Amino acid sequence: MAGVLVSLASAAQAGDPLASWNDGPAKQAILGFVRSAIAEGSPEFIPPAERIATFDQDGTLWVEQPMYAQVMYSLERVPAVVKAKPELASVEPFKTVLSGDREAIAKLTMPDLEKILAATLTGMSVEAFQGEVERWIGTARDARWKRPYTELTYLPMQEVLAYLRTHGFKTYIVTGGGQDFVRVYSERVYGIPPEQVVGSAGETAFGYDGSGRPTLTKEPKLLLNDDKAGKPEGIHLMIGRRPHAAFGNSSGDREMLEYTGAGGGARLMMLVHHDDAQREYAYGVGSRIGAFPDALMAEAKKDGWIVISMKNDWKRIFAFEP
Amino acid sequence: MAGVLVSLASAAQAGDPLASWNDGPAKQAILGFVRSAIAEGSPEFIPPAERIATFDQDGTLWVEQPMYAQVMYSLERVPAVVKAKPELASVEPFKTVLSGDREAIAKLTMPDLEKILAATLTGMSVEAFQGEVERWIGTARDARWKRPYTELTYLPMQEVLAYLRTHGFKTYIVTGGGQDFVRVYSERVYGIPPEQVVGSAGETAFGYDGSGRPTLTKEPKLLLNDDKAGKPEGIHLMIGRRPHAAFGNSSGDREMLEYTGAGGGARLMMLVHHDDAQREYAYGVGSRIGAFPDALMAEAKKDGWIVISMKNDWKRIFAFEP
C-alpha cells in the first residue's frame, strides 16, 4: 500500500490524476464524467451529497484469478477448523481440502464450497473473525506474484478512487464477496471505511458470553446475496441512493450498471475487461470467475458503458511494477 | 427546521453548544465524553474514523406519542390504497380505518397494523414511495401542536447531534421505524444523510418496468427488524463498527446501549426519560409506545448509563417554543 500511496502522490504532483492510464476513450470518459459532475449550473451537475460511486472488488479493484482471495482464506482456514472439530477430518469436503490435492480441490462443487465457507466464516464472534482475517491477510501470499493479496490492487483503479474522492465522491465497494471479510482491510487498501463496504452478508445473532458480555455471533444464514440483482438491492439497503458511477468486470455487475445508468445528471458505467494474459490474465467469456459473455459486451455497446481494456488502457497495472 | 438552525447558530455564537440543556449530570456527561474522546494520548481517545454515535429516532429525537408518525402515515394512506383496490373497502382492518372511528382504530391489533403497513409501505417502486412520503411529511400536522411532524424534534438532541459532528463524530439514526421512511427527511431534519439511517428494512426486488427501465420494488418481506437485539445486529450489518455513543429512550434500545458500552475508549450511553406531562408527555413504565420499565432504569444505574430527565435537564424542548 505504501507503494500505491507514493505513486498516487507523485502522479498528483505531476498534474495527471490518472497517470497510469494511457490516453484513450476510457481515460477521457473518466475525466469527462468528473468535469460534467462538478459543472455547476449544468444539467449534468451532481450535488455533492449525491456523489456516490460504487466499485465491485474482485476483478475490478484487485486480482480475482485463479481463485477469489476469500475462498483461499476459507481453504487455508480448514486445518484450524478441523483441529477444533477433529471429526471433520474424515468428512467431505474437508477431507479433500486437507489432502492438499490441488486438482481435486479445484473440482469441488458449489455445495462443497458452501460447506467450507459456512464452516470457516460463521460460528464465531465478529471480533474473532476480524482477528483471524487480519492475521491471514497480513501473511498470505498469492501464488503467481508471491506478494500479499493486498498489493494486487490495480493502480489505475486506485487512481480513479482517489480522483473521484478529490471531487467529492463517496466511494463504496459493492462486492459479491463477504462484507465482513472485505471490511477488515478496505480502509487500509482502498481508503474505503468499513461502513462504505456493501457485500454479501450473513445474519448475526446478538447474545451474551459466559461472563455476561454482549456478543454478536456470525450465523450461517445469508441475509444479502450481493451479486447480480442483489447489487442494486444491496445498494438500496445500505446506501439508499442511486450511484452516479459504477465499475465492474463481469455479469455479476450488470444489474448494478443498469441501475446506475437509469438516473439523471452525469453518469459513468465502466467494465474492466481482462484481456492481458501477459501482465495479468485474459479471461471472461464463459469463465467460472469473472464471466464476461458476449451479451454483456453487446449491452455495454448499446447502453454506452465504457469497456476498459486492461491491455491497452492501463500503462501500469500494479504499484510494485518497475 | 429553519428555527432549529437559527437556534443552533445563536447557541454556538454564545459559546454554549448545549444551550438548551440545564446544567446537571446529563449535560456534564455529554461534555465530559467529548472532552475524553478528543484527548489525544489519553486511553479514552477515539481515533476520528471510529467516532460513531447512534441515535434512536422515535422518542429520542422527536415525539413518538400518541402514535409513531410512520403509523399515522400508513393510516392516512389507506384511502389512496382503497381507491386503487376498491375491494378492500369492505375488508378489515381497512374498513375500520376508513370509518375514521378513532377509538376503534386505537384498538387495532398488531396483525391488523401489519396488514395496513404492508399495504401502504410495499408494492410500489422505491421512488414512488419516496415521493408519497415527501408529499405527506410536507403537509401532515400533529394533533397536539398542529405543526409538521418534522418540527417536533427535540432541540437539546439536535444540539447533541451538531456538537458531536463538530468533534468529528459520524451521527447515525438507528430506528425500529422504517429505514426507507426516515431516509426521506433525515438529511433535512437532522442533518443525517440517507446512508447514515439504519432502520427496519424490507426486501426490494430488482426488475424492469414495461419500457425496460430497471426498477426496485418494495416487497412485503422483512429483512431487518431493527429493534431490541436487531439494533446491534443492524449496526453491524450497516456500519460494521461498534458505536462509542448511543442514545435511546426505551426497552427497544437496551441491546444497542449494552453493545455500545462493551468496548474500549470513551463511551456514552444515554436514555431520554419522558417525565414532562406538561411540555411533552409523561410515560414509560408499561407504555405500548416507548416502554421504560423499572428493569431498564435499574440496568441504567448499574451500567452507568445516563438517564436524561426531560423535565429537569431540558431548558427548552422544541425550537418553536417562545
The answer for A 246-285 residues in CB contact with B (under 8 A) is 255, 258-259, 262
Distances (CA, A) of B206 to A11, A259, B198: 40, 9, 21
Please list, in sequence order, all residues whose beta carbon lies within 8 angstroms of the beta carbon of residue B247, skipping any fewer than 6 positions away: B53, B54, B55, B56, B60, B157, B160, B253, B270, B271, B272
Judge whether residue B54 has pLDDT over 80.
Answer: yes
Tell me the mean pLDDT in the region B59-80: 96
Task: Tell me, letter by letter, the H, E, C secondary structure of B292-314.
Answer: CCHHHHHHHHHHCCEEEEHHHHE
CA distance A270 to A257: 8
* Amino acid A288: pLDDT: 87
User: What's the whole-model pTM score?
Assistant: 0.95
Nearest alpha-carbon partner for B220 in B115, B70, B83: B115
CA distance A89 to B183: 49
* Cα of B55 to nearest chain A Cα, Å: 16
B179 to chain A, any CB pair closer than 8 A? The answer is yes
* Amino acid A1: pLDDT: 45
Residue B46 CB coordination number (10 Å): 25
Query: Angle at Cα B313 formed by Cα B307 and Cα B319, nearest 5°?
Result: 120
Instruction: Name beta bridge partners: A273.
Output: A309
Judge whether residue B220 has pLDDT over 90.
Answer: yes
* Amino acid A322: pLDDT: 80
Work out the mean pLDDT of chain B and round it to a whole number.
95
B50 to chain A, any CB pair closer than 8 A? The answer is no
Going across the sheet that includes A306-309, the strands are A214-224, A197-208, A170-178, A52-55, A245-248, A268-273, A306-309
Judge whether residue B1 has pLDDT over 50.
Answer: no
* Amino acid A6: pLDDT: 54
Nearest alpha-carbon partner for A9 in A166, A141, A142, A133: A166
> Helix or strand or coil: residue B222?
strand
Looking at this predicted complex, what is its ipTM? 0.95
* Cα of A240 to nearest chain B Cα, Å: 6
Contact A259, A235 (CB under 8 A): yes
Contact B181, B73 (CB under 8 A): yes
A170 to chain B, any CB pair closer than 8 A? The answer is yes
CA distance A98 to A113: 14
CA distance A279 to A310: 9
* Amino acid B61: pLDDT: 98
Residue of A194, A201, A262 lying closest to B213 (CB–CB)? A262
More confident residue, B11 or B221: B221
Residue of B183, B207, B232 lying closest to A206 (CB–CB)? B232
Contact criterion met (CB < 8 Å) for A241 and B194: yes
pLDDT in tens, A47-101: 999 999 999 999 999 999 999 999 999 999 999 999 999 999 999 999 999 999 9
> Helix or strand or coil: residue A300?
helix
B241 to chain A, any CB pair closer than 8 A? The answer is yes
Contact B167, B32 (CB under 8 A): no
Contact A4, A158 (CB under 8 A): yes
A187 to chain B, any CB pair closer than 8 A? The answer is yes
pLDDT in tens, B142-180: 999 999 999 999 999 999 999 999 999 999 999 999 999
**Which of the residues in chain A have pLDDT under 50?**
1-2
* Amino acid B280: pLDDT: 98
Residue of B180, B224, B258 lying closest to A214 (CB–CB)? B258
Residue of A230, A232, A240 lying closest to B197 (CB–CB)? A240
Please list, in sequence order, all residues whose beta carbon lies within 8 angstroms of the beta carbon of residue A220, skipping any fewer than 6 positions away: A118, A122, A123, A202
* Amino acid A286: pLDDT: 87
* Amino acid B3: pLDDT: 52
